[in-house]
Amino acid sequence: MNPQESNLERLLLKSVSNFFSHSEVIRYYPDRAREVGLWPHERAMFQRFLEPPPTVLDVGCGARCEAVELARWGFSVVGIDIAEPLLENARALALELGLSIPFEVTDGAKLDFAGRSFDYVTLTGQMIHHVPLRKNRIQLLREPGRVVRSGGAILLTYHDWGLKQDHQPWRSRQPASRGGEELLEIAEPGDRLVDECEGAVTESGGFVHNLTKAEMELEVADAGLLIRERARISTVAGGEPNDYWKPTRILVLEAGTATASETE
């Protein structure tokens, strides 16, 4: 990658932290964590695939309620994210509830933990879509494979844009933030910028990559992970969730040998 491409990559990565540090985003996630907690289908997913009291590393935790809810269930949780403002809110929420949860500003692709440190690693909330460039997503997946213990599991959720009618590459859309046209130089099919969070317009565009099932599973394989189980969020929840969640797929991954089963 030449210096110009490296600079554009840094801008893409910065767009993610800027977006999730925006006031509208910071306001939304803590409020949702306090008022809603886990959606029923999220609760069903965690209850099915995670069993307390083992240790959990929540990658891309933000100020969402997953880490908090898992701690309330008896898990020993560490939350990491690249957006310090969101972590400040997560710390405040944990303090309100009397929970001891370490929240650290850490790049999930460069984990500062020893190998085999956690029973589970979660990459939920479809956070994988906010990682620019295929090579970076693969590296992000490799690190959980390094820190998860033998017999443990990595829980990943993603939206399969092959199930959505509006799956279009970035080049067919108007980039949402000023300067987005320049970033097209290193864009991959399915890349785009968004400038809203739950309907609230933000000033900075945040990166999103639309993934298909085939693309996601290829990146998992290239990261050296094996698929223990596949599922649809609607199947796990016992019914259809809302439109946002309908294309959501679940992968239970591990670094060791596994036989994949599918529930679709």
Mean pLDDT of the chain: 82
36-92 pLDDT tens trace: 778 888 899 999 999 988 999 999 987 667 898 899 999 999 999 998 888 988 898
How many C-beta neighbours within 10 Å does residue 156 have?
Answer: 24
CA angle 263, 132, 240 (to 5 degrees): 30
Residue 258 pLDDT > 90: no
pLDDT score for 98: 92
pLDDT score for 229: 96
Ordered domains of the chain (ranges, CATH): 3-263 (3.40.50.150)
For CA atoms 25, 28, 31, 36, give the dihedral sign: negative
- Exposure of 9 in the CB half-sphere (CA atoms within 13 A): 13
152-202 pLDDT tens trace: 999 999 999 887 655 444 333 444 344 555 666 677 888 877 766 655 555
Buried/exposed 214-232: b ≥16 CB within 10 Å, e otherwise: ebbbebbeebebbbbbbbb
pLDDT score for 240: 62
Question: Could you check whether the bond before residue 53 is cis, i.e. omega within 30 degrees of 0?
Answer: yes
For CA atoms 141, 145, 146, 148, give the dihedral sign: positive
Is the pTM higher than 0.85? The answer reads: yes
